Amino acid sequence: MLIFNTQNELVSYLATVSNATTTIGFVPTMGALHQGHLSLLSDALKNNSIVVMSIFVNPTQFNNQEDLAKYPRTLETDIEKIKSVSDKIIVYAPSVEDIYNGNTVSQHFDFDGLENQMEGQFRPGHFNGVGTIVKRLFEIVKPTHAYFGEKDFQQLQIVKKMVEKAKIPVKVIGCPIFREPNGLAMSSRNERLSDTEKKEAAIIYKTLLQAKKLFPTKSAAAVSHWVKKTFDQNSNFTLEYFQIADEASLLPCIRKSKNKKYRAFIAVFVNNIRLIDTISLK
């Protein structure tokens, strides 16, 4: 398996193995890989001649320095997991210097307001950081197809918007959420949970499922009220937000419209660890 730590080496290598018909599938990650990431790799392998996975904990998308410091970094085990999928995958694991060249700051983006909802309200600057790194990685890897998990649905919509606005020639593909047997959405941050917290975190998906059940007969406000009450009664979990929003604009659902696809979004803290999840309400 090939592992590159610098963009120069990666770009030179890709030039030697690419021609006009080559398709490059790209899976950007911050490491601490789980089954969800590996399924993105499998999708990429099925549909592309070359597959590149990046592993880079991007400092500019963290609005909380403690979260950045504690973000799990597990490169060796990540490499083993990638090998278990295929030894043909090319890994790009750069340093901060290789990506930012001494200027570790975000570019400013206009994502037509998608950036102002939910995560945007609670993580100021986060999506400028995501846009900066994803654009940079697209420039380096030049993928034809890029794969993102739907757990970060807002991120997925924002990346699609960036690609559309900047006319980047890549197809952005959203892939389904992978869950633990108890329903907890797989996330690199789950590594920081104790066994008990992991078990109890089943409440997040259970609540989303119940919200989905309630939505056809209740207003978005009534469902949100029920979710808030559920978390108020649980002292170990603090609800940061629950929002039912239109999938395309991410604007909150005030009055239901038949022409819109709605989705519920949630962010919860357990022991200072922030977990997000989402469910389609179709």
Q: Which residues are the active-site residues?
A: 37
Give the x/- contact pattern for ligand PAF in 26-45, rule: CB under 6 A. Answer: --xxx---------------
State the number of binding residues for ligand PAF (CB under 6 A): 10
Q: What are phi and psi of 89, to 5 degrees?
A: -75, 135
Considering only residues 228 through 247, tell me which ones interact with ligand PAF, judged by CB under 6 A.
none
Per CB under 6 A, 277 contacts ligand PAF: no
Nearest distance from C-beta of residue 75 to ligand PAF, angstroms: 15
Q: What pairing do the DSSP bridges indicate for beta strands 237-246 and 262-270?
A: antiparallel
Among 134, 223, 267, 270, binds ligand PAF (CB under 6 A): 134
58 binds ligand PAF (CB under 6 A): yes
Give least dist CB 281 to ligand PAF, A.
23
Nearer to ligand PAF, 148 or 242 (CB): 148
Note whether 93 binds ligand PAF by CB under 6 A.
no
Closest distance of CB 238 from ligand PAF, Å: 23
Nearest of 101, 134, 152 to residue 266 by alpha carbon: 152
Residue 133 binds ligand PAF (CB under 6 A)? yes
| Closer residue to ligand PAF, CB minimum distance, 149 or 224 | 149
Task: Output 92 or 215, the one with its CB closest to ligand PAF.
Answer: 92
